[in-house]
Amino acid sequence: MKRFNYKAKEKTTGKAVKGTIQAENEQIAGRLLVDQGYIPASVVEEGKDSILAKLKNRITNKDRIMFTRQLSTLIGAGLPLAASLRTVSDQTQNKGMKAIAEEILASVESGKTLYDSFAAYPDVFNGVYLALIRAGEMSGTLDLALKRLADQEEKDAAMMSKIKGALVYPAIILVVIIAVLAFMMIMVVPQVRDLYEDMGEELPGLTQFLVDLTDFFGNFWWLVLGVLGGIVGGVFYFVKKTTVGRRFADNFKIHVPIFGGLFRKLYVSRFARTAEMMLATGVPMLDSIKIAIGAVNNVVVETEYSKSLEIIKSGKPLSESLKDKNYMLPLVPQMASIGEESGKIDEMLGKAAQVYENELDEQINGISTMIEPILMVMMAGLIGIVVGGTLLPIYSLVNSVST
């Protein structure tokens, strides 16, 4: 028998409880808790909840997409929900995802709805995911809802992968710049200093500055690393853990040169695509727009888009509520207006999202081309300073000796 740490809620009072339970595996432990009148939130084997284990069992977008796609296929093939969950659980390789699948299965078998079973894991399944699960469960189109989810998550993952890939080349160039500068400072500058000392000449101002800089980094490298580490850690905490920092970072994204326009199109396409999914699955208009706003994942843009909710509540159409909103590109309200007239608002929002997704593809492919000249100028300027402080003094010294 194994021991498991669990977190759960009492069915009758909703009170949160935690403790340990003995069972052969996570699934049996979950069923025992259900039999005892609890709703399990997490069941983890003792010794496996360390930081290393959490990192090892971290659930990625790929794991969630595969889980969703498999579940959609099995339900669409006519397999009962419990049998579908059991099959997916058996096929899942990631231990974290497998444990959650087993606990969802135990929850469903205990009589809970699929939505409530998924809602116990908000860190894994976001609001969009849960809303589509609920809509699909209520309308009897759960397989289609899951398929839409998998398709959308694949698109989002592919888009973010392209953005990251476009930054690889600039990152390589920056690494080369740093490597060249480090080589010049470590290998060349000290030799120029020794040469001048042997000749009894005074170092030029620029060369003396480079020598002092090299000595400082050589003697106080630990201080430099500590300061850089502190800055990086402070910025990370400020951005990730504080409301002001999150807002500052999100505002920076939509205004930064070159990338600002790209992020705006990304947020608009994400909003339109999520709204399309919600409306196509039967979610009411106000709830669909509220969920789509939450899917944007930028607090500045979300705050601006949220102004449309009050306009919708007043009875006005979606197209009017989205007009003249900051960071909302004009094609979305235009297509929404056409959709309202034709009765196909979800399709029109999907087409607007596709337009901006196509434009994003083109912009992402051209990012490296746009950034390359800037990086080349930076590289030339920095290397020029080092060369000016090393090679030119040598030529000057040689000329003075020959004279």
Q: What are the residue boundaries of the structural domains of the chain, listed by start?
A: 2-56, 61-152, 167-241+366-403, 260-358
Strand partners, 23: 2
Q: What is the pTM of this model?
A: 0.69
A 10 A CB-CB count for 9 gives 15
Strand partners, 43: 6
Q: Which one, of 265, 274, 64, 272, lies nearest residue 148 by Cα?
A: 274
Distance CA 261, CA 255 (A): 8
Distances, alpha carbon 332 to alpha carbons 62, 75, 388, in Å:
29, 34, 54
| pLDDT at residue 17 in the model | 82
- 230-256: burial string, b at 16+ Cβ within 10 Å, e else: eeeeeeeeebeeeeebbeebbeebbee
In the chain, the amino acid numbered 26 is E
Ranges of the chain with pLDDT below 50: 49-53, 55-56
Q: What is the CATH number of domain 61-152?
A: 1.20.81.30
Check if 61-152 and 260-358 are the same fold: yes
Cβ(333)–Cβ(322) below 8 Å: yes
| pLDDT at residue 56 in the model | 44
- 294-307: burial string, b at 16+ Cβ within 10 Å, e else: bbbebebbbebbee
Dihedrals phi, psi of 266, to nearest 5 degrees: -60, -45
CATH fold, domain 260-358, is: Receptor-associated Protein (1.20.81)
| pLDDT at residue 53 in the model | 47
Distance CA 6, CA 45 (A): 9
| pLDDT at residue 155 in the model | 80
Distance CA 76, CA 143 (A): 5
- Please count the CA atoms within 13 angstroms of the CA of 23 that sit on its side-chain side: 17
Distance CA 272, CA 261 (A): 17
Structure tokens at 264: 């705006």
A 10 A CB-CB count for 362 gives 8
Cβ(108)–Cβ(86) below 8 Å: no
Structure tokens at 57: 């069992």
Distance CA 316, CA 192 (A): 75
Structure tokens at 372: 């390359």
Strand order in the sheet with 2-10: 16-23, 2-10, 38-45
